[in-house]
Amino acid sequence: MDISYKLELLKDISDDETDFDRILGKLLDTVLSQHRLRVKRYESDLQEFENRYGLESAAFYQRFEAGEMGDAMDYFEWAGLYELYQKAQDKIRRLARPQSKH
């Protein structure tokens, strides 16, 4: 089943536009909650790196991207984790944005 079909099916079985909007809103709220939990885990993991190396993740990442940190495996893991954290934060911002009414 493709996404378009699923959305059309959901719309068809909804009682009205308000019901459909409510269902989609609940789905987006669930996804938002999942991303918030993911961010909390990332923050905990990032904090471990920050404590170990005495450097905040944003400053580390900037230096890492500039090639100033070297090639230690920990640095690649930290950079990857920071990128995942940033992507999750972006998704949260997008999901938490108030939706315009048509």
Q: Of residues 15 and 59, which shows the higher confidence score?
A: 59
pLDDT of 73: 97
Neighbours of 15 (CB within 10 A): 8
Helix then strand then coil, in percent of the chain rounded to 5, is: 80, 0, 20
Q: How many residues does the chain have?
A: 102
Name the phi and psi angles at 38, rounded to 5.
-60, -45
Query: Residues 37-65: pLDDT tens digits?
Result: 999 999 999 999 999 999 999 999 999 99
